């Protein structure tokens, strides 16, 4: 990496950007920091005129005539200035060139001097920000004091703070003049930016940032010239070095640490420069042994890929099976780190094998393309190059140098696994089994021999075309014919293991969810065995094969997700998912109905269809977190990266009110919150403050856009406020979320329940650690009109749960540890007994929802993870809950996934749009109504921990990606229990229908140590 101060060499720097972008502010800073001379063309021109230099005299003559100073004159003046001693180390050029012609003339002049423009800094900024920045400027003319209506306003509008005299606005700062200047910039100067971009010397600065941040960014770009891929790899290096430090002290590495260490060390050996790609591919397998990593890692990690710069350029290094031995070579793993190599006795013996996401296969093999006409024919390759034919290629249309009985191949294709191929080497003759194509039996594409329906009456026409175009054809009178499924040689049978490796598990197979003890059994597979849609080179989804030809765009899908294992409250099944207009329009079998059997309605794959491969992956609905404190915008990125696509809550930023309560109180704040989230790829719902015993202000916040109201004890959740809030909410048919009165100030839990008056309400953190009537708010979980939810810090109950909560509570609710009453308030909320009971109530289906309580006693990125940790713990302690006695965990899985998908959707009145993997329906006016395609794809070993892809409204909004420069991208019905719950006010013992609810605290949970760096 280049790493030098530019003041050590002759360095030519050009700054450009629209007026007001900060060039004038930053140029002197750059000049001083890097010892450059500052060449501002306007200043140089005036100086040349004043000094009466030959060029200055010519410039003066032009100005006296009212003419523009020619480009050649300006370039000449720059040429003169560059020869001054102060410019010998380099210069910064400001204000020129303004046109492409000027840029070309400048380059010609510099080339004559053996110089060039080394870097162009473009101060990029949006016009709307510039308008706000410039038109807000006002000055006091006599003193020069400047003000800004937003950033530095005067004490009295329009008046100087010192003299009281009126302020004026310069003509250049008016909106009219600014628009004219910006129009000129966009017309003339933006092409100059493109000119230098093509030369590879352009660097963009985010000029909308404060000046100090722009200066910092500026320095980084000039000092090290870091490209984005280098910045990315610095992050990788940091993680790799962290992994080395942990390894050096005897810790077994998890998946993330292992990948980081291997990739980092490969790059370091690349930098050493004495090994080839092939040597490094082998070396990468030697760093770590099985004893140095957690037992799940060898199964989670099959390859590591990284790109580095060799003497002959950037190359890809792929390390297959990177944990290939027991002991590895720690000297290689720590090479260059200067860390001590630990002795092998620091690492315990290899633990029991753990294989997250593995499949338990069902019984029996799978028959492909059953009950179809079949024929065995001999094929000879008479060409001098190999020919490879894919499963769904119309065999009559194949390469003319393949010689076989084409009449018998009419309307047939290979009887092989979908997406595989048969290869014919030059001169080779082999027998293949063909089966009839399915669907409407229409041939399109290929060599255009048939181009129409399969019809025996057309054979003579087809035969004539074959002969005229020289396609090899040889009649085979004794070819065997039959029906698939009636025995050899026509049958194509595949083992379940081989099938699952290609297309994912099928009916009767079970798959482990991450590293939990939960196993989902596939209840149904919509696939037609042998007709699976697979994308890729030589695969199925190609023109005339799996991709239809001749269907209009309106009839085909926008996007199809192929062969995905759907886990939803509605079922656990394998299917293709069809997306159109941002909605899930169909679930079933996708493909080309002209050649495939079983293609579902509205599931045509056409030329306008994008493909997302779901083979071997799990698909769920996007999670809904319905307890979000909108404290900072970064929550959105944490949420979506964990699998959340909808957030409901309230707030205005890191105010004391928002830190404690999910309320956006004022209509003005509601407007701004709605506007500020427009560009974030999530569904947002905002709740207004509901704590008022009178209705007027509640009407106002609802009309401003509140989708619900929040009652919180910190604002006074009294029976009067509860009754009024529910009354108003009933008028608008919106939800009320309540955080009840921990202090029991206005009454006990039964008084609050009475204030509900049988009306539906959503109770937040219904166990009570997050707040609510102490100690028995948990009773609400047995009330019919109450939709109870939990927040995730208490999910599940573990041996560290109690210890973390007290300080968490003190901070979130603005309490003072020096005030005894505040401490007592906090301690009354943290009860091991009710938290343990909460685990069981979730497993019984008495608590419907799990949410986060983000940054206010909750973690938005762990809603999904902690839901499955709770399910795992309950299975380990309570066993199966399936009422049918099935040997799988499907019932429990459906119950728990409903807690963060369909149940919060129902609770917030949005289940017609989000919350499940269900197809939309079409109204009589042809308008589609139904579920947004808000979906999450997971690799099974990482299920519940780290998603692979987030699809928002049918568009990929977040995905697990690698190096951007790299050459390759590597419902409520299930939670409806209503037990009669009691809590002993002294011992906090919880009973449900007379049974004591207690469980042991967990000492370990899945979806944790195997996956996360911190």
Catalytically active residues, by annotation: 813
3-state secondary structure of 351: coil
Beta strands at 935-939 and 617-621: parallel, antiparallel or unpaired: antiparallel
Torsion of CA 596, 602, 608, 613, to 10 degrees: -70
Asked if residue 872 belongs to a known ligand binding site, the reply is: no
Number of H helices, E strands in the chain: 28, 45
User: How far is the CA of 944 from the CAs of 575, 665, 954, 966, in angstroms?
Assistant: 21, 34, 21, 28
Neighbour tally for 64: CB within 10 Å: 8
3-state secondary structure of 877: helix
Structure tokens at 945: 């921990």
Residue 981 near residue 777 (C-beta atoms within 8 A): no
- 922 phi/psi in degrees, rounded to 5: -110, 125
3-state secondary structure of 751: helix
Asked if residue 710 belongs to a known ligand binding site, the reply is: yes
Asked if residue 38 belongs to a known ligand binding site, the reply is: no
d(CA 985, CA 211): 59
Given CA atoms 670, 671, 672, 673 in this order, what sign does their dihedral have?
Answer: positive
d(CA 874, CA 614): 30
Neighbour tally for 919: CB within 10 Å: 18
Asked if residue 299 belongs to a known ligand binding site, the reply is: no
**Closest-CA residue to 651 (of 638, 662, 635):** 662
Asked if residue 358 belongs to a known ligand binding site, the reply is: no
Torsion of CA 928, 930, 932, 933, to 10 degrees: -80
Give the ranges where 168-248 is alpha helix by DSSP (H).
175-184, 190-198, 211-223, 228-248
Angle between helix axes 71-82 and 54-64 (nearest 10 degrees) is: 150
d(CA 254, CA 598): 44
Strand partners, 543: 547
| CA-based R_g, the chain, Å | 35
Close Cβ partners of 213 (under 8 Å, ≥ 6 residues apart)? 206
d(CA 995, CA 1003): 25
CA angle, 494 as apex, 492 and 497 as ends, to 5°? 170
**Closest-CA residue to 94 (of 43, 46, 129):** 43
Q: Which residues are annotated as a binding site?
A: 627, 629, 710, 712, 739, 765, 853
Question: Annotated binding site for substrate: which residue ranges?
Answer: 712
Q: Binding site residues for Ni(2+), as ranges?
A: 627, 629, 710, 739, 765, 853
């Amino acid at each position: 990496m280049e790493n030098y101060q530019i003041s050590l060499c002759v360095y030519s720097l050009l700054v450009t950007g629209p007026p007001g972008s900060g060039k004038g502010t930053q140029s002197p800073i750059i000049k001083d920091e890097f010892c450059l001379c500052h060449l501002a063309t306007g200043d140089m021109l005036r100086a040349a005129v004043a000094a009466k230099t030959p060029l200055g005299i010519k410039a003066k003559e032009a100005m006296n005539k009212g003419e523009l100073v020619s480009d050649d004159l300006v370039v000449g003046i720059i040429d003169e200035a560059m020869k001054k001693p102060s410019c010998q180390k380099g210069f910064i050029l400001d204000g020129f060139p303004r046109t492409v012609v000027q840029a070309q003339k400048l380059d010609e002049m510099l080339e004559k001097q053996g110089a060039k423009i080394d870097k162009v800094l473009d101060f990029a900024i949006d016009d709307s920000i510039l308008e706000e920045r410039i038109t807000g400027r006002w000055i006091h003319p006599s003193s020069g004091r400047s003000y800004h209506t937003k950033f530095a306003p005067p004490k009295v509008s329009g008046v100087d703070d010192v003299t009281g005299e009126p302020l004026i606005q310069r003509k250049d700062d008016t909106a009219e003049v600014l628009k004219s200047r910006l129009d000129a910039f966009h017309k003339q100067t933006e092409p100059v930016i493109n000119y230098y971009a093509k030369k590879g010397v352009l660097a963009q600065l985010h000029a909308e940032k404060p000046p100090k941040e722009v200066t910092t960014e500026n320095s980084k770009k000039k000092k090290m010239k870091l490209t984005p891929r280098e910045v990315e790899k610095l992050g990788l290096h940091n993680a790799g070095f962290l992994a080395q430090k942990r390894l050096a002290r005897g810790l077994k590495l998890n998946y993330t640490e292992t990948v980081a260490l291997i990739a980092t060390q490969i790059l370091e050996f690349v930098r050493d420069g004495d090994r080839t790609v092939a040597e490094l591919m082998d070396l990468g397998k030697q760093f770590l042994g099985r004893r140095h990593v957690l037992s799940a890692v060898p199964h989670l990690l099959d390859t590591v890929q990284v790109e580095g710069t060799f003497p002959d350029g950037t190359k890809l290094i792929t390390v297959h099976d990177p944990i290939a031995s027991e002991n590895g070579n720690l000297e290689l793993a720590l090479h260059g780190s200067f860390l001590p190599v630990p002795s092998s006795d620091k690492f315990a013996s290899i633990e029991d094998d753990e294989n997250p996401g593995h499949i338990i296969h069902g019984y029996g093999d799978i028959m492909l393309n059953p009950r179809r006409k079949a024929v065995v024919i001999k094929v000879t390759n008479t060409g001098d190059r190999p020919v490879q034919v894919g499963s769904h290629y119309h065999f009559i249309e194949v390469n003319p140098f393949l010689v076989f009985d084409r009449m018998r191949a009419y309307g047939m294709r290979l009887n092989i696994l979908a997406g595989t191929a048969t290869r014919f080497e030059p001169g080779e003759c082999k027998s293949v089994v063909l089966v009839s194509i399915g669907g409407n039996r229409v041939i399109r594409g290929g060599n255009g021999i048939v181009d129409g329906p399969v019809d025996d009456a057309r054979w003579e026409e087809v035969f004539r075309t074959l002969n005229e175009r020289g396609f090899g054809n040889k009649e085979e009178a004794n070819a065997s014919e039959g029906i698939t499924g009636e025995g050899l040689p026509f049958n194509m049978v595949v083992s379940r293991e081989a099938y699952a490796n290609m297309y994912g598990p099928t009916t009767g197979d079970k798959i482990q969810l991450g590293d939990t003890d939960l196993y989902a059994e596939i209840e149904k597979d919509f696939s037609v065995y042998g007709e699976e849609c697979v994308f890729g080179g030589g695969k199925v989804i190609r023109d005339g094969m799996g991709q239809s030809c001749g269907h209009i765009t309106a009839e085909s899908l926008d996007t199809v997700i192929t062969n995905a294992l759907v886990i939803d409250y509605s079922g656990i099944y394998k299917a293709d998912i069809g997306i159109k207009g941002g909605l899930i329009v169909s679930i079933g079998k996708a493909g080309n109905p002209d050649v495939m059997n079983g293609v579902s309605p509205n599931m045509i794959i056409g030329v306008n269809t994008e493909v997302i491969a779901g083979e071997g992956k799990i698909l769920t609905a996007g999670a809904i977190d319905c307890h979000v404190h909108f404290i900072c915008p970064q929550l959105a990125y944490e949420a979506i990266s964990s699998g959340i696509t909808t957030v409901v809550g309230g707030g205005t930023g890191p105010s004391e009110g928002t830190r404690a309560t999910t309320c956006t109180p004022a209509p003005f704040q509601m407007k701004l919150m709605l506007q500020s989230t427009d560009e974030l790829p999530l569904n947002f719902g905002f709740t207004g403050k509901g704590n008022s015993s009178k209705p007027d202000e509640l009407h106002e916040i609802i009309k401003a856009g509140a989708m619900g109201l929040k009652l919180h004890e910190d604002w006074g959740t009294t029976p009067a406020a509860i009754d009024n809030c529910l009354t108003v909410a009933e008028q608008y048919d919106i939800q009320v979320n309540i955080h009840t009165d921990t202090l029991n100030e206005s009454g006990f839990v039964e008084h609050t329940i009475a204030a509900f008056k049988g009306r539906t309400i959503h109770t937040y953190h219904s166990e009570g650690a997050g707040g609510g009537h102490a100690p028995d708010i948990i009773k609400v979980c047995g009330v019919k009109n109450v939709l109870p939810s939990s927040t995730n810090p208490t999910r599940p109950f573990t041996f560290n749960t109690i210890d973390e909560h007290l300080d968490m509570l003190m901070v979130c609710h603005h309490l003072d540890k020096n005030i005894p009453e505040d401490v007592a308030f906090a301690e009354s909320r943290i009860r091991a007994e009710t938290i343990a009971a909460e685990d069981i109530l979730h497993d019984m289906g008495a608590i419907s929802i799990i949410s986060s309580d983000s940054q206010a006693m909750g973690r938005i990125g762990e809603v999904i993870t902690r839901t499955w940790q709770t399910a795992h713990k309950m299975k380990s302690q309570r066993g199966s809950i399936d009422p049918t006695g099935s040997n799988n965990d499907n019932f429990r899985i459906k119950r728990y996934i409903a807690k963060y998908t369909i149940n919060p959707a129902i609770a917030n009145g949005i289940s017609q749009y989000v919350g499940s993997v269900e197809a939309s329906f079409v109204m009589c006016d042809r308008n589609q109504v139904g579920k947004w395609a808000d979906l999450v794809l997971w690799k099974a070993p990482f299920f519940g921990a780290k998603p692979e892809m987030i699809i928002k409204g049918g568009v990929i909004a977040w995905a697990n990606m690698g190096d951007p420069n790299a050459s390759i991208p590597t419902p409520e019905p299930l939670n409806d229990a209503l037990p009669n719950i009691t809590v002993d006010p002294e011992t906090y013992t919880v009973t449900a229908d007379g049974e004591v609810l207690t469980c042991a605290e967990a000492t370990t949970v899945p979806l944790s140590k195997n996956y996360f760096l911190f």
